[in-house]
Structure 1
Amino acid sequence: MVMAADVDSVLTVKDTVRLREVQVMGRSRIRKLKESGMPVTVIGQHQLQGTANNINDVLSRTVGVTVRNTGGLGSASRISVRGLEGKRIGMYIDEAPMSQLSNFVALNDVPTDMIERIEVYKGLVPYRFGGSALGGAVNVVTKEYPPLYLDFSYEIGSFNTHQVSGVFKRTDSKSGLQFGLGGTYSFAKNNYKMRLDHIDGRWVERDHDQFDKAICGGSIKATKWWFDELKLELIGMHTKQEIQGIDIDIREAYNYSDNYVAALKVKRNDFFLDGLDLDLDAGYVLGYSGMKDKAMHRYDWDGNQMPPTSVYGGEQNSYPSDGRTRTNEVTCKLNLGYTIDLHHSLNLNVYADHSSMHPNDSLMDKAMGFKANFPSKMNTVTIGFSYDLTLFDGKFQNAFTLKDYHFSSSSRSIDVYSVSEPESVDISKNYFGFNDAMRYKFARDWMIKASFNSEVRIPTTEELIGNGFSILASPALKPERTNGVNLGLVYRHLKSDGGLLEMELTGYYNQLEDMIRFTPDIIPTMARYRNFGTVRTKGVELELKGDVTKLLYLYANGTWQDLRDVRKLTPGTNVPNPTKNLRIPNVPYLMGNFGAELHKENLFGGKGQNTRLLLDAAYIHEYFYDFEVSKYQERKIPTSFTMDAALEHSFMDNRLTLTLRAKNLTDRHVVSEFNRPLPGRYIGFKIRYVYK
């Protein structure tokens, strides 16, 4: 829920941009042009600090977005924008792509207290972000803190959940050096009750789903040197996550990861040339991860003991695991923007990524009878050249981008007809794409948006070269290509009392070619990614929000999205496709959200206090997780309707804030994809202190 007070901080671009209307005052301010022709939703601080206690909660209430969790805190989750999900959606922090790091760290790990706003781009990705995401992008913008700042928060909640985060910043006024230190720790037992619908509907308690994650980082930033900004950041992360069984009661297996990140950011306006701006991000990630699955016994939900999956142990797959995989990744993103005059500007974006993987699992090799773990590497380079045009005193804006995608990899692949030593596979491919986004403001409060795109998504390392054991390399895998169009109507009215009323209606049509899906292989226990074929997507989104009075804010949104299999033939045959024109399974198609916020200063007397009462509701219509070949089939995810509520009270001009929140207020039984049971009612209490 973005309040009127947030509008300037959320929609304003530093100099003089208000309500996405660019007021061109000079060359320096043209550099801040926002790609307002793109379908984008901006989420401000009030929504981040409302009933939500993490980023996934916030995104799940955003029009056109769904978040599918598989359990409680720390569980695997997938963010879907207009039905396209996973690696198709770009994940960015301050416009820096998370790339391979997203395999170990989620956006959800960033505490909401550290976030200024979240930008959700749909269909198109801004050219300055780089990379090859094609379904959209989520960009988390972290806060710019004052010279002296301390922010500490602690939340305790149901299912033995504890979350702690803190930030400290100090600026030396003489040298201009800024020093920062921050971290977060999350722990959850996740021992909620779950109903096993596939095993006589019994209720059991999750007993092996504990989650621990710690993140700590420090930074130093210079602002008075030759560069306008020179920042070095070091981050360390540790995760341990127990694996909770659904079909059987897994008791010992768990995943773990340790990652170390070094990041460098460089900015300079008028870089050797008036009007030329430099923005450079470089990073290095060293990671260690693996799965421990060595149990010599398995158990069903009645407590009956069963033999392991292999004579060498294991609870999950047909082989045990005692793995430790080392990954290395180097990334570099360069933006060079040149402002020609009030109407024209150019931008060159180059994004390069090199990643290598070195798996080691002698126990798995022993169980399988051959060495299945081997090193691999992958390189990607994406080059984008963009041209921005502004006419009619800023009423018309257009941004056109031409992209070149190149990737190469070196890996090994097992022959699909026999289990043998992997053979070397080397590939190198190149593709082109483009997108165009425009906006025209035809009245004071009204504007229309349109965008077109034909873009490519380079397969990820896991998709193309596998993971060294359970996922085989797919050297023949083609990149995904999307061709689509978006058309939107936007209304924004600034009321005389400072409140804001907004409405946005958007329709879109998209065709995704060579869709990549994860599929089983001929070899037992092995799988690989394959090109599924062509999927057609169309949909409509409507969002209404605004300050009804000085005390009351309301919002409501609805999404209808239709993804269909449009393949004529079954892949590799001349047989007609039996699922042609059927809806893609396991993807929601009808969703809606509603929310209200009642706020008043000094409600209980005194001064410097503020009280907020919040309510959010979410509806997802039932959907199938197989192709719907019959209206009588039962394999479907049931309709869900959940409500969240929160009471927040702040003291001392928002320096001390107390929050009591309840998620799934009515304790509804809710399941996610493939009928995985989700937590029931959650009650949490949070205290936050800010010194500045």
Structure 2
Amino acid sequence: MVYAQRRETAKAIGYVHDSEGNPLTEAVVHLRNTSYSTEVDDKGHFVLLVQPGEYELVVSSIGYLSKTVSVSLKNGENKLGHLMLKSDPNMVIDQVVITGKSAIAEVRETPFNVVALDARSQYNSTLDLAHLLDKASGVKIRETGGVGSDMSITLNGFTGRNIRVFIDGVPMQGMGSAFQLNNIPVNMAERIEVYKGVVPIEFGADALGGVINIVTNRTSNTTLDASYAYGSFNTHKSNVSFNHTFKSGVSLQVSAFQNYSDNNYKVKTTYRIFAAEKTPGTDENGNTIPWQSGSSWSPDSAWFRRFHDTYRNETLIAKVGIVGKPWADRLLLGLTMGQVHKDVQNGAEMKFVYGERTAHSRSVLPSFVYDKRNLIVDGLSVRVTGNYNYEKAGSVDTTSYKYSWSGDRRLIKDLRGLSNSYGEASFGLSEYASSNESGTVNIGYRINQSHSIAVNNVLTHYLRKPDIASIAQTIYPDLPTAADSMTRTSFKNTLGLEYRYTFKRKWNTNVFAKHYLNKASGPETGTNTETAAEYTYRRKEDAGKIGYGIATTYFFRDLQLKASAEKAYRLPTDRELFGDEILEEGNIKLKPEESNNYNIGFTLNKELNPAFTVYVDWSGYYRDTYNFIQTILARVGDDVNGNSIYRRTNHGRVTRLGTDIEGRLYYKNKATIGATLTYMDIRDKSYFSDEAGKIENGNYGYRMPNLPYFFWNADAAYYLHDLFGTGNTLNLNYTLNYVDKIYRNALAYGDRSSKDFIPKQLFSDFTATYIMQNGKYNISFEVRNIEDAMLYDNFSLQKPGRSFAVKLRYFFIKRNQ
């Protein structure tokens, strides 16, 4: 709507966009100290009719820094050109236009150590949510290979299940492998919130390392976003999402995405050498020879192309409900369905190569969310969520062959034999069904502007039941075992209470307490003291813990100071307790981790002059953790015919002292440059290496192995506006990444000068995006790992080399009044 009088003859014309050149369709433009105001249209353009004169023009949009420009408006048209808003706010949006703060500003102004990533600036890239998260300070994404490979998050020295992941406040745990961070396209999110260490009670998380919260797009406008990308190693990624809210308040959201890759990149590894074939028969003693060939390991490494690593997944997400009603801000029912098929090329070590092993899963997840602020009385807010996930998953490995990296195979056993050593990885056939239910209730009450209270409760239940009928149909009559047929269950409940004090919007303090409860039941192996025979029985473990903490922050004009401390616990996850039926072994005896967490930090966001803005975020932390759950590499079988798996165990005490810093400089709407850096000193402080406390720990005081402790990235971007046409923008982005060497084993053992470590890694990425018609049509070209460097993660599992990708994206938006 335009507030103007007919006699006004000056016309101000302009275009509002973000740092990627995308139009900001919800931006508002006004002249300071006047009633002149207008909104941009669905393409980012605005026209403002005013009296000629000197003005200060202010542009604002939720989630962005407001921009002020001095303008001299004359009779006739006044073209103001491109007005870019920076998506890095840490201040209140000008209240002449909008009352309240942006979502990102609200997150950053909490007393918790948190950073927020704007996902919208990456919509034209091929990134998934995991690789966007990799750009945050203190965060390192670790993968076991290419597209669809297993992924873990390292945050402030904690890794894997120490970090909990949520989508719109709903825990992702149990959502199935078809809906994970490394296969969800970045277009699904509006922003990512990263809470480091101390965690607010509303997440109800037993997380020592922190919480990742993915906030999805909640626009009430009608939008259609469709994209397709093709890249190296025959990689295809496609995504489509549609949002529409009817005048009646009915909201409809539908999204679907697909990922496919051959993952046939080259790797360098040691390899199996098959001996000459032998004729089946008997030896000189008359014993049956079940193997037709022997094998050994080559003393050298060589390059091979991966030949059995195809990954495919498809996921559909639909939500329907009511928004914007007096009795509900949001009431949505959702359904997520997905499926995954992946070939398994290698185990926990690359030298063990598989040629026929596969894994698969299908999942169905119904969900609901109810959200209402000021329910019945002002200040009372209620949020209720629930989801149920049913997943049918398993792996198939019933081959009678061993493979080499060259693709050669040899028969390894007589199928008529009844040996338990079947399959490439000694696992055979695994089929199971699992269900995971989760419910959250959050109630908050704002007593007045200074005082508020909140209570939050999260309940989860997990059940895994082996599919005995499927297993029994194999050619191996000695299956299933007692462990195979036993169900696994766990029940967790986290209750949190919080009091919040705010003093004149300058000082915020949160005091909270949490109660953790965990009950688990699953198979365990025991030994008969008389016969020394092993047997399987059902073991039950119960744990109840109480944690507490405080977080505080103080605001200056351009500076925010933060400090927090917490006594926290982390309950073992279902995967840690029961394994994954593929490459991870469960341990029902795991104890909860316990940690004392301390954080300090500051955030500076200052406009140096109309051309330059600087942003700096620094945090320091200390973690003192007991019963640390460590992932170790264990071998099953002999060195040639065996297999490596992951095994987890409690490892006494570990300390972490670290720092994160992010700095960024913005120059008008032309360029940005920035960097993040993380350094962590993670030390083994356990006096004993066994749970009984009898064996001294020779690694006491040394660094913990297989954890990255120093890494950084630097990036620069340049924007060419109105290139080959008005409203067209070319974005050029370059990123340089560095990860210091990581020792695979404890430094106290062996020769430190040996090469038993993951080497230093330095590599860079480049992206060029051309945006046409103010964001309606987009094309991107990407090259990852320009140097074709050899990149590794967990236990030296090699990741892809240089790769290229092209992405086409169409975006349509219609503002719903």
Would the alpha carbon gap of residues 203 and 408 (structure 1) be closer, same or farther in structure 2, given more than 3 Å must change?
Answer: same
Q: CA deviation at 1:437?
A: 1.3
2:333 to 227, 232, 236: 232
Q: 2: CA distance between counterparts of 1:626 and 1:575?
A: 18
1:679 to 800, 808, 817: 800
The superposition leaves residues 161-195 of structure 1 with CA deviations (integer Å, 9 ceiling, x where unpaired) of 0001001122221x210112110011001111111
Partner of 2:688: 569
3-state DSSP of counterpart to 2:187? helix
Would the alpha carbon gap of residues 522 and 296 (structure 1) be closer, same or farther in structure 2, given more than 3 Å must change?
Answer: closer
The superposition leaves residues 13-51 of structure 1 with CA deviations (integer Å, 9 ceiling, x where unpaired) of 9xxx994456999xx969985462222221113553466
2:518 to 407, 413, 424: 407
3-state DSSP of counterpart to 1:128? helix
3-state DSSP of counterpart to 2:255? strand
Partner of 1:270: 374
Partner of 1:319: 427
**8 Å Cα contact 2:521-2:588 kept in structure 1:** no
Would the alpha carbon gap of residues 499 and 165 (structure 1) be closer, same or farther in structure 2, given more than 3 Å must change?
Answer: farther
**8 Å Cα contact 1:365-1:372 kept in structure 2:** no
Partner of 1:662: 783
3-state DSSP of counterpart to 1:58? helix
Q: CA deviation at 1:112?
A: 0.9
**Bigger mean CA deviation after superposition, 459-468 or 555-564:** 459-468
**8 Å Cα contact 2:483-2:523 kept in structure 1:** no
Partner of 2:554: 440
- Normalised by the size of structure 1, how large is the TM-score? 0.92
2:321 to 214, 221, 226: 221
Q: CA deviation at 1:575?
A: 3.7
Which amino acid counterpart does residue 781 of structure 2 have in structure 1? L
Q: CA deviation at 1:529?
A: 3.5
3-state DSSP of counterpart to 1:477? coil
Q: 2: CA distance between counterparts of 1:641 and 1:473?
A: 35
Would the alpha carbon gap of residues 40 and 187 (structure 1) be closer, same or farther in structure 2, given more than 3 Å must change?
Answer: same
Q: 2: CA distance between counterparts of 1:594 and 1:527?
A: 33
- Normalised by the size of structure 2, how large is the TM-score? 0.78
Structure 1 unaligned residues grouped into runs of 5+: none
Which amino acid counterpart does residue 697 of structure 2 have in structure 1? N
Percent identity between the two aligned chains? 24
Q: 2: CA distance between counterparts of 1:603 and 1:117?
A: 29
Partner of 2:543: 429
2:412 is the counterpart of 1:307: yes
2:228 is the counterpart of 1:154: yes
Q: CA deviation at 1:237?
A: 0.3
Q: CA deviation at 1:560?
A: 0.8
2:635 is the counterpart of 1:531: no
2:714 to 594, 599, 614: 594
Partner of 2:384: 280
Partner of 2:114: 40
Partner of 2:240: 166
**What is the alpha-carbon root mean square deviation over aligned residues?**
2.9
Q: CA deviation at 1:276?
A: 0.9
Partner of 2:146: 72
2:447 is the counterpart of 1:340: yes
2:498 is the counterpart of 1:386: yes
**8 Å Cα contact 1:296-1:313 kept in structure 2:** no
3-state DSSP of counterpart to 2:127? coil
Q: 1: CA distance between counterparts of 2:670 and 2:508?
A: 36
**8 Å Cα contact 2:178-2:314 kept in structure 1:** no
Q: 1: CA distance between counterparts of 2:581 and 2:802?
A: 40
2:602 is the counterpart of 1:489: yes
The superposition leaves residues 597-648 of structure 1 with CA deviations (integer Å, 9 ceiling, x where unpaired) of 00122123x2121110000110011121101124312200011111100110
Q: CA deviation at 1:4?
A: 10
The superposition leaves residues 504-555 of structure 1 with CA deviations (integer Å, 9 ceiling, x where unpaired) of 2221111111011345789978986421111000112221112034311001
Q: CA deviation at 1:663?
A: 0.4
Partner of 1:144: 218
Which amino acid counterpart does residue 213 of structure 1 have in structure 2? N
Partner of 2:48: none
Matched positions, count:
681
Q: 1: CA distance between counterparts of 2:796 and 2:142?
A: 11
The superposition leaves residues 57-100 of structure 1 with CA deviations (integer Å, 9 ceiling, x where unpaired) of 22223211111111111111111101211111011111111112
Q: CA deviation at 1:684?
A: 0.4
**8 Å Cα contact 1:56-1:67 kept in structure 2:** yes
**8 Å Cα contact 1:359-1:468 kept in structure 2:** no
Would the alpha carbon gap of residues 238 and 84 (structure 1) be closer, same or farther in structure 2, given more than 3 Å must change?
Answer: same
Q: CA deviation at 1:224?
A: 4.8
**Bigger mean CA deviation after superposition, 102-111 or 350-359:** 102-111
Q: 1: CA distance between counterparts of 2:758 and 2:125?
A: 25
Q: 2: CA distance between counterparts of 1:484 and 1:62?
A: 20
Q: 2: CA distance between counterparts of 1:542 and 1:281?
A: 35
Q: CA deviation at 1:151?
A: 0.7
Q: 1: CA distance between counterparts of 2:502 and 2:622?
A: 26
Q: CA deviation at 1:103?
A: 5.4
Which amino acid counterpart does residue 318 of structure 1 have in structure 2? S
**8 Å Cα contact 2:118-2:192 kept in structure 1:** yes
Q: 2: CA distance between counterparts of 1:578 and 1:454?
A: 29
2:192 is the counterpart of 1:87: no
1:183 to 239, 247, 256: 256
3-state DSSP of counterpart to 1:414? strand
**Bigger mean CA deviation after superposition, 192-201 or 284-293:** 192-201
Q: 1: CA distance between counterparts of 2:716 and 2:413?
A: 52
Partner of 1:617: 736
Partner of 2:768: 647
**8 Å Cα contact 1:3-1:46 kept in structure 2:** no
3-state DSSP of counterpart to 2:130? helix
**8 Å Cα contact 1:436-1:451 kept in structure 2:** yes
**8 Å Cα contact 2:400-2:412 kept in structure 1:** yes
The superposition leaves residues 436-481 of structure 1 with CA deviations (integer Å, 9 ceiling, x where unpaired) of 211112x311221111111111111232345679866644421001
2:135 is the counterpart of 1:61: yes
Which amino acid counterpart does residue 69 of structure 1 have in structure 2? E
Q: CA deviation at 1:489?
A: 2.3
Q: 1: CA distance between counterparts of 2:205 and 2:249?
A: 33
Structure 2 unaligned residues grouped into runs of 5+: 1-17, 25-59, 67-86, 272-297, 638-642
Partner of 1:478: 591
3-state DSSP of counterpart to 2:628? strand
Q: 2: CA distance between counterparts of 1:23 and 1:650?
A: 27
Which amino acid counterpart does residue 314 of structure 2 have in structure 1? A
* Higher radius of gyration, 1 or 2: 2
2:435 to 323, 328, 332: 328
Q: 1: CA distance between counterparts of 2:569 and 2:117?
A: 27
Q: 2: CA distance between counterparts of 1:4 and 1:155?
A: 19
Would the alpha carbon gap of residues 102 and 485 (structure 1) be closer, same or farther in structure 2, given more than 3 Å must change?
Answer: farther
Q: 2: CA distance between counterparts of 1:469 and 1:71?
A: 16
Partner of 2:175: 101
User: Equivalences for 1:124-139 in 2 at 5 Å?
Assistant: 124-139=198-213
Partner of 1:627: 746
Partner of 2:41: none
Which amino acid counterpart does residue 179 of structure 1 have in structure 2? L
Q: 1: CA distance between counterparts of 2:507 and 2:267?
A: 54
Which amino acid counterpart does residue 657 of structure 2 have in structure 1? K
Q: CA deviation at 1:127?
A: 1.8
The superposition leaves residues 359-388 of structure 1 with CA deviations (integer Å, 9 ceiling, x where unpaired) of 133349845673322112111110000111
**8 Å Cα contact 2:565-2:598 kept in structure 1:** yes
**8 Å Cα contact 1:8-1:18 kept in structure 2:** no
Q: 1: CA distance between counterparts of 2:769 and 2:310?
A: 29
